[in-house]
Amino acid sequence: MQTTHLHHLLTAGPALRFAPPHTPWSRELRAVVQRLARVERTPLTTTSTATTTADGLRRERLAFASPLRGTFHGTVTAPADAGPPLPAVLVLGGKNARLEQLTGETPPDFPDRNVAEHLARAGFVTLSFEHGIGGGLDEERRAGRDEGALLAHAFALTGRSLLGALVGDALGALDVLAAHPWADPGRVGVFGHSLGAAVALHSALLAPRPLPVCAASHLGSYPALFARLLTGYEGAVLPGVLEYADLADLYGALAPAPLQLQYGTADSFLEPADARAAADAVRRAYASAGGDLEVHELAMGHGTHVGHAAAFFTRTLSGPAAAPADVPAQRIHFDVADRRAVLDRVDAALATGHLTQGPELARFEELSRTWTGVEGVAVASGAAALEIALRVIGVTNRTVLVPVNTFFATAAAAVRAGAAVRFVDIELDGLGLDPDALRAALDRHPDTAAVLPVHIGGIVPPSLTEVLALCAERGVPVVEDAAHALGSTLDGRFAGSFGRFGAFSFFPTKVAVSGEGGLVTCARPDADSGAAAADAEQVRRWRDHGKSAQGSTLHDRPGGNWRMSELHAAVGTVDLERFERTLAARRDLALAYDELLADVPGLRAHAVPSGARSNYYKYLAYPEGPVDRPLLKKRLRERHGVALAGEVYDHLLCDQPYFADTAPPADAEGPYEQARWFARHHIALPLYPTLTRAEQTRVVAALREELS
C-alpha cells in the first residue's frame, strides 16, 4: 500500500527542527518558506466604491485590481467615532468565510465569524478580503469536489501553491492597510482563522518587519492533520514544507514577534494532544528567542475566541509604533526566481559533473562583455585578475605604480607578481591618479613595468585620459583596477576597455556578484584585435596552472589555480542577467540622494565629473568642518539604526603595516596630501537596489540631525 510508503516519509522528520540559537535558525527557515511559497508580489491598485456609517462603525468597500488575480473586493471597517490613525488588523477568514459575514454586514453563520466587526468595535481598523476560492470553476465539471483542493492541485502543476497565491494577496493587502488614512502604519497585526491562520502565519514569515499574529484553529503536526486525522486542507500548506519544518516550527520562527495561538478541545479538525505537543514546541522556540507568546486551549470547536484576540491586539498594538528595521550598510538580495535559477544551474552542473570551466563560465564571460565592451576571461577573484594581468606583462624585479588610496589587493597583486610597488597621489575630482604626480613618479622610476589606475567608488575619472597618454609616451602598459566599476563609463566607453587589461571583482560587496570571482578584460586599444585575443589566451593559460593548452598535461609557465567554478559562475550569470536593472536602480537611488542632500547643511555630495557615468558602487559625501567619523558612524548606528557603508579607503597603502615596513618612507614619495585629505574626510552612504525611498529619507534625516 502507498500508505506504507507515506508512513516511512512522515517518520523521517524535518531537517530544520528548531535548535538554538534562534536567530540563524529562523532566518534559514524563513528563506525556505520564501523559496517554497514562490510568492509573486504585485502591487494592488485600490478603488473606493462606497463608504457607509451605521451602528457605530464606518465601512469602506474597496475594489482591488491585481495583475495576477484580476479584480476582487475587500472592506475596511473602523469605529465611527474614533479619529485616525488607529491600530490596524488584517483579518483573514477561513475557507468558507464570506466577506459580509466577517465585517458584520450580514448575520454570521457562526457566532464568532464576524471577527472584523468585533475588532473594529474594540477600536481597530480592520481590512478583510475575499480569498477567491469559491465559485470560479464550472459546477457541473467540479461534480461536488472541493474547489480549493482542485485549485491547489492545478497550482502544483506549475510548481506553485494555492497558499503562495493567498499569501501574495495578503501581503498586498497589508500594504494597502498600512497606507490607509484611517490606519497607523507602524501598528499593524494579522488575524487568521483556520485557512486564514495558515495565510497569516506565512504572510508574517515573509513580511519585511515583525507583525503580531493571532492564529485560531490551526495547530498540530502536519503528519497528524494530513495522514492520520485527514483534516488537513491542501490550500493551507506549502508543498514540500515537511522536508524542512513542521507547523510548530513555522510558528516558532515568528519569534520574538508577538503570537497568540487559540485551539479548541472540541475541534473535530484537530487532536487536542497533538495540538498541545505542537504548542509546547512553539513555546520552546519562543523561550529561546525571548518572544511574546500566548497559547489558549479553549472549550470550543473550530472557532475563534474574539475576546482573547481583541485583548491580544490591544496589548501588542498599544503605545508608540514599532521602530523600523535598521538600515544596513549592505543588503545582498536574490529574489526567489533568481535563487531558483541559480539552483537549476547548480543542479545541472552537479548532474553532469562539469563543475569548473563549463557552460556557465562561458555564459558568464559572454554576459560580462555587455558591460565591458571587450573580451573577458573569468578567474577566481579580482586579486587573481590583477596578478594574472601583471604576470602576462612581466613585472618581475621592476616597478609597478599604484594609487596610494586603494584596497590592499591592488598593490599586493603586484608584489606577488614579483614587482616593487611605488605609490602615487590621487586627484580629488574623479579620485583617479593625479597626472602630475604620476609624471613625477615615472621620472623617478624609469624601470616602471605597469601603471594601475583604480576607478574608486565606480567613477572612471576624466584624468584617466592624461594618465593613458603619459603611459603611452613611455610605452608603459596600463592595467585598470575596475573592481568597483562594472558598467561605469567615461565618454560612453566602459571601464576595463581603456588599458591593455582591466581587472574586475565579483565579491559579494560589489555591484555584480558571483560569491567569489573576477574577470580579466583584454582590450589592447593601441593594437589590432589579434593582440587582444593573444592576451586572452595568455590569461587562460595562467589561470589553469600554466597549461600550454586546455586539457594539456604540459605546462609552460608557473600558473595557478585561478579558475572560476561552475557554481560561482551560476550565481554570476543570474546576477549579470539582471544587471541592467541593478545599474538603473543604483543610479536612480543616487539621484534621489542628490535631491535629498541638496539642503542638508554641513554635508556635500561628491559630484561625479562631467563625461563620467558612475555605477555608484559608493555614494560619497563630505561632512564639512572637523567631524569625528568613527563617532559619527557610531551615533548613526546606535541612535538611528543607520549603518554607513565602508570607506574607499580610510587608510592609505603607505600606512598599511606591510608597506610601512617594506616600502620607502612616505616622505620620499609623498606626502600624498590629496589622498590623505580624501581618506580622512569622506563618508559612504548606504546604497543598494533594495534600498527604499523611506530608508533613504531616514538616512539623510539622521545625518542632518547628527551634523547639525
Q: By the 8 A CB rule, do 162 and 234 touch?
A: yes
Could you tell me the three cell numbers for 135? Answer: 465559485
Distance CA 461, CA 477 (A): 18
- Binning pLDDT at 50, 70 and 90, where does residue 4 land? confident
Per-residue pLDDT reduced to its tens digit, 142-155: 888 888 888 888 89
User: Would you put residue 192 in left (φ > 0), alpha (ψ -120 to 50) or beta?
Assistant: beta
Strand partners of residue 60: 51, 76
Q: Is the pLDDT of residue 426 over 60?
A: yes
What pLDDT sits at residue 84?
Answer: 80
Arithmetic mean of pLDDT, 120-140: 90
- Tell me the torsion sign for CA atoms 126, 129, 131, 134: positive
What pLDDT sits at residue 639?
Answer: 96
Could you tell me the three cell numbers for 214? Answer: 493571532
What pLDDT sits at residue 625?
Answer: 84
* Residue 658 CA, distance from chain mean position: 36
262 Cβ neighbours under 8 A, 6+ residues apart? 214, 215, 216, 217, 296, 298, 304, 305, 308, 309
What pLDDT sits at residue 83?
Answer: 81
Could you tell me the three cell numbers for 122? Answer: 474594540
Among 118-122, 148-152, 419-423, 592-596, the minimum mean pLDDT is found in: 148-152
Distance CA 122, CA 313 (A): 10
Q: Name the nearest CA neighbour of 422 among 165, 654, 188.
A: 654
Per-residue pLDDT reduced to its tens digit, 343-355: 999 999 999 999 9
Per-residue pLDDT reduced to its tens digit, 443-469: 999 999 999 999 999 999 999 999 999
Helix axes 195-206, 22-37, angle to 10 degrees: 110
What pLDDT sits at residue 378?
Answer: 98
- Between the CA of residue 301 and those of 225, 264, 269, 270, what are the distances in Å? 16, 5, 9, 10
What pLDDT sits at residue 319?
Answer: 78
Q: By the 8 A CB rule, do 351 and 359 touch?
A: no
What value does the mean pLDDT of the chain take?
Answer: 94
* Residue 149 CA, distance from chain mean position: 34
Q: By the 8 A CB rule, do 167 and 203 touch?
A: yes
Per-residue pLDDT reduced to its tens digit, 473-487: 999 999 999 999 999
Strand intervals (E) in 467-517:
479-481, 489-490, 493-494, 501-505
Task: Name the more confident of 383 and 149.
Answer: 383
Q: Name the nearest CA neighbour of 95 among 164, 171, 177, 163.
A: 163
What pLDDT sits at residue 475?
Answer: 97
Distance CA 484, CA 455 (A): 6
- Binning pLDDT at 50, 70 and 90, where does residue 8 land? confident
* Residue 450 CA, distance from chain mean position: 38
User: Would you put residue 524 in left (φ > 0), alpha (ψ -120 to 50) or beta?
Assistant: left
Distance CA 38, CA 467 (A): 50
* Residue 358 CA, distance from chain mean position: 28
What pLDDT sits at residue 588?
Answer: 98
Q: Is the pLDDT of residue 667 over 60?
A: no
- Binning pLDDT at 50, 70 and 90, where does residue 665 land? low
Residue 580 identity = E
User: Would you put residue 443 in left (φ > 0), alpha (ψ -120 to 50) or beta?
Assistant: alpha
DSSP string, 414-483: HHHTTPEEEEE-B-TTTSSB-HHHHHHHHHH-TTEEEE--B-GGG---TTHHHHHHHHHHHT--BEEE-T
Q: Name the nearest CA neighbour of 374 among 384, 365, 387.
A: 365
Q: Is the pLDDT of residue 666 over 60?
A: no
What pLDDT sits at residue 669?
Answer: 73
Distance CA 368, CA 496 (A): 11
Q: Is the pLDDT of residue 309 over 90?
A: yes
pTM above 0.85, yes or no: yes
- Say which residue the cell 606591510 belongs to: 658
Distance CA 414, CA 400 (A): 7
Start-to-end CA distance of the chain, whole Å, equals 75
- Say which residue the cell 537611488 belongs to: 589
What pLDDT sits at residue 137?
Answer: 84
DSSP string, 215-239: EES--S-HHIIIIIS----GGGS-T
Q: Name the nearest CA neighbour of 482 among 634, 555, 374.
A: 374
- Between the CA of residue 637 and those of 259, 633, 703, what are the distances in Å? 29, 6, 11
Distance CA 279, CA 485 (A): 52
Q: By the 8 A CB rule, do 428 and 674 touch?
A: yes
Per-residue pLDDT reduced to its tens digit, 521-542: 999 877 676 899 999 999 999 9
Could you tell me the three cell numbers for 229? Answer: 486525522
Q: Is the pLDDT of residue 694 over 70?
A: yes
What is the C-alpha R_g of the chain?
30
436 Cβ neighbours under 8 A, 6+ residues apart? none
Could you tell me the three cell numbers for 673? Answer: 596630501
Per-residue pLDDT reduced to its tens digit, 154-209: 899 999 999 999 999 999 999 999 999 999 999 999 999 999 999 999 999 999 99
Three-class SS string for 668-688?
HHCCCHHHHHHHHHCEEECCC
